[in-house]
């Protein structure tokens, strides 16, 4: 059974201040204490509350003490737009969103915050999220003493006396309405803190989201967006792919919740796992119906996407045993004009160890960076471990390659010009098509690539996942063609990439070195390397 909240007892002034401080720093503690007897969070909900607490406190600290007071982790949280959760059906979405809204308003009441909750259409909002606010408030003696809920707004009762109103209001619009009307739904809402509470975000019209980015200029503002991922495009879906670096991304899997419920008799009685089982039995575990409605996963990737999102995320969780004779591969994708950065990727065997970005344009400096990175990694390896260094030799890269060869005297330096003919001209148009296709095979077919990036900032992993899952491909004149920039796209009906996928290109180059430039292994080690199995844990929150 859920643990009952401790009784509220008289406290000294100092004890009250300590208690209130804890409500700010640990919102989950506040939710368990005042969320009412029906609040019985499973691990996914607890993770949401913990991530919300980190974001809220980072934004508060930046506002009160300035950006220079933040740690790197706090700065990353403070810059996020909000939290985006893909979730299956019946997993406590509305309860979580409404209770977080109540916490946000009480904690920030001195700043007169505002809040908007929205859903795809009026009936959806009025039958789910908005009534859930009423249940949450009425179900808690503490919250019912604080808040008053009317048909069109929620506000703090104490505001009646001081005459200043902070509020939460429902706003929504039909998807088939005029685009200008859709854009006006969330427009013009500004305060020191604004919280946008959005459920079933996959169905919310795109124009409704447009004003939100402007609203997030308010210093304490954030979004809590939770949705059943019925599509792979749109604002909500892109928060987990292309725009992932701007969000804290979570995923709620009904199978995980069912396991927790079975392991804790008497808890999570609000979840109907029997409905989940019926869907699995009827449609199959791998069906899109089960993926979306049970597992909180988007439908299967479209056939023209080169590397499927699920495969890329699986690679980030895959661990592969490192063998003594695994080769070291270091590849530099040299940036182009303007602010296009250079990215260096380091692999040990099939495991990605590092992806590092450099802003420098000087070929001498870049060559020193590559040589230094190689020396650092080789220092911890035995002398007989193979290594390969590669450079993208289009443009400035040729100068880096020459200096590595002639100034640094590094052996095993390879140049890669992706505009040249491929190794297999019967299958690919250009070398770029081949190296990207081989990366796809490592992620989706052989599943040997381990994109774990140990110790790397989450932003780096989010960036590489976003880049490699945004590339299209097609068969053109009987050969494989991969989407590129400018005229290199070459796929009828597909727009060229607006920006170079630098992290993806560097990863492709390093994988090319591993597959084609490090094959001289003793037969025994080669057999062991080719036969080992990658260890992939079960799908967890993203």
* Secondary structure in 3-state letters for 113-177: CEEEEECCCHHHHHHCHHHHHHHHHHCCHHHHHHEEECCCCEEECCHHHHCCCCEEEECCCCCCC
How deeply is 392 buried, as exposed, middle or buried, from its count of CB atoms within 10 A (0-12, 13-18, 19+)? buried
Q: How many CB atoms lie within 10 A of CB 380?
A: 8
- Which residue has better confidence, 193 or 120? 193
- Predicted pLDDT at 242: 86
Mean per-residue pLDDT, 111-127: 76
Q: Is the pLDDT of residue 171 over 50?
A: yes
Mean per-residue pLDDT, 489-496: 78
- Predicted pLDDT at 25: 94
User: Is-contact 375 410, C-beta < 8 A?
Assistant: no
Question: What CATH number should be reported for the domain whose range is 79-263?
Answer: 3.40.50.300
Give the range among 191-195, 336-340, 350-354, 500-504 with minimum mean pLDDT: 336-340
Most confident option among 21-30, 209-218, 236-245: 21-30
- Predicted pLDDT at 537: 44
pLDDT band at 184 (very low <50, low <70, confident <90, very high): low
- Predicted pLDDT at 523: 45
- Which residue has better confidence, 331 or 207? 331
Total residues belonging to the chain: 542
Mean per-residue pLDDT, 109-118: 88
Of all helices (H) and strands (E), which one includes residue 434?
Answer: helix 431-440
Q: Is the pLDDT of residue 370 over 70?
A: yes
Mean per-residue pLDDT, 225-235: 84
Which residues, other chains included, contact 380 with Cβ-Cβ below 8 Å and sequence gap of 6+?
none
- Which residue has better confidence, 534 or 12? 12
- Predicted pLDDT at 347: 96
CA distances from residue 317 to 77, 352, 433, 539 in whole angstroms, order as listed: 22, 12, 26, 9
Candidates 3.30.420.40, 3.90.226.10, 1.10.760.10, 3.30.420.240; CATH matching 317-531: 3.30.420.240
- Predicted pLDDT at 541: 30
Q: Is the pLDDT of residue 186 over 70?
A: no
Looking at the chain, the domain(s) classified CATH 3.30.420.240 span 317-531
User: Is-contact 251 539, C-beta < 8 A?
Assistant: yes
CA neighbours closer than 13 Å in the CB half-sphere of residue 539: 19
| Average pLDDT score, the chain | 85
pLDDT band at 526 (very low <50, low <70, confident <90, very high): very low
Mean per-residue pLDDT, 255-277: 93
Most confident option among 389-403, 479-493, 515-529: 389-403
pLDDT band at 203 (very low <50, low <70, confident <90, very high): confident
Q: How far apart are CA 405 and CA 388, in angstroms?
A: 12
- Predicted pLDDT at 84: 96
- Which residue has better confidence, 286 or 67? 67
- Predicted pLDDT at 539: 31
- Predicted pLDDT at 542: 29
Looking at the chain, the domain(s) classified CATH 3.40.50.300 span 79-263
- Predicted pLDDT at 493: 78
Q: What percent of the chain has pLDDT over 90?
A: 49
**Biggest CA pair distance of the chain:** 83
Q: Is the pLDDT of residue 466 over 90?
A: no
Give the range among 123-132, 465-474, 494-503, 521-530 with minimum mean pLDDT: 521-530
């Amino acid at each position: 059974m859920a643990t009952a909240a401790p009784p509220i007892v008289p406290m000294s002034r100092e004890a009250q201040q300590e208690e209130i401080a804890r409500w700010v720093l640990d919102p989950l503690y506040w939710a368990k204490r005042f969320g009412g007897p029906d609040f019985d969070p499973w691990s996914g909900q607890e993770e949401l509350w913990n991530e919300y607490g980190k974001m809220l406190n980072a934004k508060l600290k930046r506002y009160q003490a300035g950006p220079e007071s933040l740690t790197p982790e706090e700065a990353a949280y403070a810059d996020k737009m909000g939290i985006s959760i893909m979730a299956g059906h019946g997993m406590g979405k509305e309860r979580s969103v409404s209770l977080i809204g109540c916490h946000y308003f009480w904690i920030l009441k001195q700043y007169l915050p505002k809040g908007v909750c929205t859903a795809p259409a009026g009936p959806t909002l009025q039958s789910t999220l908005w009534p859930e606010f009423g249940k949450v408030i009425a179900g808690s003696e503490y919250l019912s003493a604080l808040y008053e809920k009317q048909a069109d707004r929620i506000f703090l009762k104490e505001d009646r006396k001081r005459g200043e109103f902070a509020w939460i209001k429902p706003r929504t619009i039909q998807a088939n309405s005029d685009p200008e009307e859709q854009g006006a739904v969330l427009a013009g809402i500004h305060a020191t803190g604004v919280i946008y509470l959005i459920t079933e975000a996959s169905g919310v019209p795109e124009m409704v989201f447009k004003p939100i980015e402007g609203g997030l200029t308010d210093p304490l503002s954030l979004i809590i967006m939770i949705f059943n991922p019925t599509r792979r495009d749109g604002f909500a879906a892109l928060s987990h792919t292309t725009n992932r670096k701007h969000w804290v991304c979570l995923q709620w899997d009904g199978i995980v919740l069912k396991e927790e419920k079975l392991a804790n008799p008497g808890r999570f009685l609000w979840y109907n796992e029997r409905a989940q089982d019926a869907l699995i039995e009827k449609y199959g575990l791998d069906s899109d119906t089960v993926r979306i409605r049970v597992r909180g996963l988007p439908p299967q990737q479209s056939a023209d996407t080169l590397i499927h999102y699920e495969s890329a995320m699986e690679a980030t969780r895959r661990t592969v045993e490192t063998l003594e004779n695994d080769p070291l591969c270091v590849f530099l994708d040299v940036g182009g004009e303007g602010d296009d950065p250079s990215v260096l990727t380091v692999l040990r065997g099939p495991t990605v160890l590092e992806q590092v970005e450099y802003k420098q344009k000087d070929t001498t400096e870049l060559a020193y960076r590559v040589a230094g990175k190689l020396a650092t990694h080789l220092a911890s390896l035995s002398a007989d471990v193979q290594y390969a260094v590669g450079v993208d030799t289009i443009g400035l890269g040729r100068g880096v390659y020459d200096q590595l060869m002639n100034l640094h005297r590094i052996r095993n330096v390879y140049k890669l010009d992706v505009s040249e003919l491929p190794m297999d001209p019967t299958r690919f148009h250009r070398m770029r098509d081949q190296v990207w296709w081989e990366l796809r095979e490592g992620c989706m077919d052989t599943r040997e690539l381990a994109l774990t990036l140990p110790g790397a900032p989450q932003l780096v992993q989010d960036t590489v996942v976003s880049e490699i899952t945004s590339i299209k491909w097609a068969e053109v004149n009987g050969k494989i063609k991969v989407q590129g920039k400018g005229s290199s796209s070459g796929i009828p009906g597909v727009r060229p990439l607006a920006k170079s996928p630098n992290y993806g290109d560097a990863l492709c180059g390093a994988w090319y070195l591993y597959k084609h430039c490090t094959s001289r292994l003793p037969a025994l080690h080669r057999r062991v390397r080719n036969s080992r199995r990658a260890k992939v844990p079960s799908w967890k929150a993203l």
